[in-house]
Amino acid sequence: MFGFLKKKEPVQLNETLYAVATGNLIPISEVNDPVFSQKMMGDGFAIIPETGEIYSPIEGVVLSVFQTKHAVGMKMANGLEILLHMGIDTVELNGEPFNIKVSEGSKISQGTLIAEVDLQGIISAEKAIDMVVVITNMDAVKSFDLNKTGQVNAGEEIGTAKA
């Protein structure tokens, strides 16, 4: 009857960031594109992948899949918005090397396959294969910590993003 008097269970916020692929993790400042390396879109990291299986960097929901399939927008439960940008200048490839496995509104978590990417197709087009993960609403970020660089495995915990 007096439901409003009951204590609400606190919402569990998973603020963990995960490796999107097996490969070499670098800070975003080392990405060979000034829009990313100078953090014009936000802070984050990139992975130079060994295989084309690209997984979710967060637990949350898919906000958007770009028409050219080269990027996927996501949102964490804490409100932080994440952009997964697959390759550098790959918008020009019109979706060719990307097989997207999620859609807008999909719930995602560690281990959710976001895309299968033809890495050789990107390389053949003379583009970089960096899988860039960017927090796009940095004004909402209380802390961003990258705990690991170098060799990582897909799904491995690599840092946190707190709002």
Residue 85 a catalytic site member: yes
**Token pair in block for residue 20:** 């999107």
Per-residue pLDDT of 32-75, as tens digits, reads 999 999 999 999 999 999 999 999 999 999 999 999 999 999 99
CATH of domain 22-162: 2.70.70.10
Burial of 158 (0-12, 13-18, 19+ CB in 10 A): buried
Per-residue pLDDT of 92-141, as tens digits, reads 999 999 999 999 999 999 999 999 999 999 999 999 999 999 999 999 99
Catalytic residue among 69, 75, 85, 127: 85
The residue ranges of every structural domain in the chain are 22-162
Q: How confident is the model at residue 13 (pLDDT cuts 50, 70, 90)?
A: confident
Q: What global pTM score does this model have?
A: 0.92
Q: How confident is the model at residue 10 (pLDDT cuts 50, 70, 90)?
A: low
Dihedral of the alpha carbons of 84, 131, 116, 101, in degrees to the nearest 10 = -10
